[in-house]
Amino acid sequence: MPLGNPPVRNSVAAFANDAIIVPSPVCFGFRSLRTGRVKKPGKTSLHIPPFVYIYQKHSRFMKIILTGTTGMVGEGVLLECLANPLVTQVLGVSRKPCGHTHPKLTECIVPEFLDLQPGDTRFQGYDACFFCAGISSIGKSEADYTRITQDTTLHFARVMRQQNPDSVFIYVSGAGTDSTEKGRSMWARVKGKTENTLLTLGFRNAYNFRPAFMKAMPGQTHLLPAYSYFAWLYPVLKVVYPAGVCTLSEVGKSMIYLVTHAYGSSTITVKDIKALARSTSG
């Protein structure tokens, strides 16, 4: 894939049923549609003119809404999105500025997510939402935690769904979430209910991410207070308990991959995150 900034989406022309064509100054000669190899023009093969490159539709450019950019997970995903050439625009939705500036990034400051209206056109025209906002349940009553975690997430999802009916919604839940909604752990029940409801809202695809211990991205500033005390454990856990650790770079890569690729499970575990991230790199 060519390096540098991706072409503007409205300059992309449709071609056949499985590809789109974009100008590419780094491709010389003729590129075979069947094999993808550069060769001299011939009479029997279908060729693409010089300076044109084939992008598969599953690698199309995308515009992302991202919440939680002032938290550790959201900030890590943000940095991955900004570094990825397939992501052309990120709308960061949070209660305060995230502290990062980038040509791709626009911020939408929302003091109270529950006050958002379904017809809010600021959220129109996006391909996916990565909902990374969240809080700890420590010190919270079940009613308060439900309002902040479940009600806020579902309200935002419904606003997103109305403005972008063909979009993908990805929710960062957590390892240990209780899909039965009947367990003893309050936070796990609440998140389980949130996960289950999201799957009924009618998005093109919805996925619930259940990461565990995550390694931060270089350049992150919004880290959990305890992270500095436990970050040294990552290389150890990677060896002794690989199913329990991943990087935030892998989380971001896997989210980006799922915007244009369907997956067989709506619950994305650490193992899935790593596999999807490898697929993105490949």
Inter-residue contact 19 to 57 (CB < 8 Å): yes
What is the distance, to the nearest Å, from the Cα of residue 137 to the centroid of all Cα atoms in its chain? 24
Question: Which residues make up the CATH 3.40.50.720 domain(s) of the chain?
Answer: 62-281
Of all residues in the chain, the percent with pLDDT exceeding 70 is 78
What is the pLDDT confidence band of residue 281, given thresholds at 50, 70 and 90? low
What is the tens place of the pLDDT at every residue in 166-223?
999 999 999 999 999 999 999 999 999 999 999 999 999 999 999 999 999 999 999 9
The answer to whether 122 and 113 are in contact (CB under 8 A) is no
List, in order, residues 6 or more apart from 257 with CB less than 8 Å away: 276, 277, 279, 280
CATH class name, domain 62-281: alpha beta
d(CA 33, CA 4): 23
Provide mean pLDDT across the span 17-31: 38
Q: How much is the pTM?
A: 0.79
